[in-house]
Structure 1
Amino acid sequence: MWDAIAISAVAMTGIIALRYFASSGAFALATNIKRPGYHAKLGDQIRREIGWSLASAAIYGIPAGVVAWGWQERGWTLIYTEWDAMPLWYLPLAPLAYLVLHDAWFYWTHRLMHRPSLFRTMHAVHHASRPPTAWAAMSFHPWEALTGAVVIPALVFFIPIHIAMLGLVLAIMTVMGVTNHMGWEMFPRRLVHSRLGSWLITASHHQRHHEEYRCNYGLYFRIWDRLCGTDRGLSERI
């Protein structure tokens, strides 16, 4: 049993690392095309970002591997594969619930990590990326990585979700994590500055967090920032 769990954890670590290289690499290439010279003189920083991100991949991969094994071998989770196992109207609700809950967890743990003592211990690694790049999406100290690694594996024990919808959640998490750190806005201006865009977090919003530190703590939505008075709007630099 323990061998199978270890194999599952190693496999998930490899998958997460490959996902990181594919997504961050693709958007880093897009950055080189869109913003030539943005990565100039950032070689040492990018190498550090990749190193920390690979360590984070292992920290994310271990709980994911344990949960994947438990789902397949013991039926531990509420992940389902049959389309008719739940009403069809429920399909989009589950990923929305995951994103809302993940966003709330991220906001409060992220804001907590900006307290001086915790910042030095846990979060300074991430903010060492100046300016942030697409490679910084998973550049975390292990303690910070651990706070992010437990969320989705925990939710699958409490909220039923189709395996395809879980894949959608992970895809959104990956794309948002990378694009928010690129240093330029990939989404159309008409979306970013629309009524809908005023509730969503994109690179323009998260860049301001990296500029000022004490604001814009959310991951997907601006709800908690607005409720708690920590929303400072969009960066004027991108």
Structure 2
Amino acid sequence: DRLVDNLFLQSYWLVAHFLIPIAPAALFAHKIYDQITGVIGHSGYEHGGRWCWPPSPLVGVTHHDQHHQFFRCNYATHFSWWDRMMGTLHPDHDRVLKANLSRSRGTEVL
């Protein structure tokens, strides 16, 4: 299951330049962006600030961490409204996100 999922997700970079008429520099820039956001998303530190305060549609590190921790929730990759609409957002997402954002700013709010 994970092998097929990873093969599908990573094969995009192998075939994209054959399927999409795009300049190699643009494809390279997108790959760099993807790598940077991947590192930030796995950093364990909530970087979003006020832009990610619930119920923001943007997903942050907390959203992604909960997906890895509980696996059966938080499937969206960029916008949380998909999980909110489909009922797959973790029930404690907003509470944990507020706590993590407060901790990142140095003001504990639980």
Q: Same fold, TM exceeding 0.5? A: yes
- Shift of residue 144, structure 1, vs aligned partner: 4.3
Matched with 2:34 is 173
Matched with 1:230 is 88
Matched with 1:89 is none
Matched with 1:219 is 77
- Shift of residue 191, structure 1, vs aligned partner: 1.6
Q: 1:176 to 1:182 in 2, by over 3 A?
A: same
Matched-pair identity in %: 30
Which letter does structure 2 place at the counterpart of 1:154?
V
Matched with 2:44 is 183
Q: 1:184 to 1:235 in 2, by over 3 A?
A: farther
Work out whether 1:148 is the aligned partner of 2:6.
no
Alpha-carbon distance in 2 for matches of 1:202, 1:214: 17
Give the TM-score normalised by the residue count of structure 1: 0.34
Matched with 1:127 is none
Aligned length, in residue pairs: 96
Matched with 2:104 is none
Unaligned residue ranges in structure 1 (runs of 5+): 1-117, 123-141
If you compute each CA radius of gyration, which structure gives the higher value, 1 or 2?
Answer: 1
Which letter does structure 1 place at the counterpart of 2:36?
V
Q: 1:194 to 1:160 in 2, by over 3 A?
A: farther
Unaligned residue ranges in structure 2 (runs of 5+): 101-110
Give the TM-score normalised by the residue count of structure 2: 0.65
Which letter does structure 2 place at the counterpart of 1:153?
L
**Moved >6 Å (runs of 4+):** none
